[in-house]
Amino acid sequence: MTARYRIPKSALTVVYNQTGQVLVMQRNDDPEFWQSVTGTLEPDEKPRDTAMREVFEETGIDIAKRGYRLQDCQQVNTYEIRDMWKHRYPPNTPFNTEYVFAVEVADNEVVTLTEHSAYVWLDKTAAMQKVWSETNRQAIELYVPDAM
């Protein structure tokens, strides 16, 4: 049996509500690692489809069904894969390509976690301080509107 490696491409989706609070979730495998929704592209899957799927899988929020508008931020990041995760990718794969999206949801949107230990809704500044990765911080800064 051949090992199935992840494709080194992912979608990062910043989820925020109408009052500008950002959803930030704690990873199961690293309690210090807080992040927005993120996930690996499946074979033959477009980044937008990955973003929609991952938001649903990780939070229970069905973007299409709820009538939310997924914003393709037209930003692509490249970052080095953490050593602890390199075994998930083909040998000698040092970098991941990340496609950035954002979606505004209702203030009362219900979140049902399936892949994370905890979640919080934080204001933009606090969310930027809480997330682990620089690309996640940058996405929150650029694509979450400032509170009125």
Which whole number is the average pLDDT over 74-102? 93
In a 13 Å sphere around the CA of 18, the CA atoms on its Cβ side amount to 5
Q: With H, G, I as helix, E, B as strand and everything else as coil, classify residue 41.
A: coil
Distances (CA, A) of 10 to 18, 41, 65, 68, 78: 26, 5, 23, 21, 10
CA distance 26 to 105: 20
Given a cut of 90, is residue 4 above it in pLDDT? no
Its pTM stands at 0.93
If you average pLDDT over residues 18-41, what whole number do you get? 94
> Cα(114)–Cα(83) distance, rounded to whole angstroms?
24
Question: What CATH class does 9-143 carry?
Answer: alpha beta
Domain ranges of the chain: 9-143
pLDDT at 1: 43
Q: What pLDDT sits at residue 82?
A: 87
Where does the pLDDT of residue 134 fall: very low under 50, low under 70, confident under 90, or very high at 90 and above? very high
Q: For residue 136, which of 26, 62, 38, 61 has the smallest C-alpha distance?
A: 38
Average pLDDT value over all residues in the chain: 94
Q: What is the mean pLDDT of residues 44-66?
A: 98
pLDDT value at position 148? 54
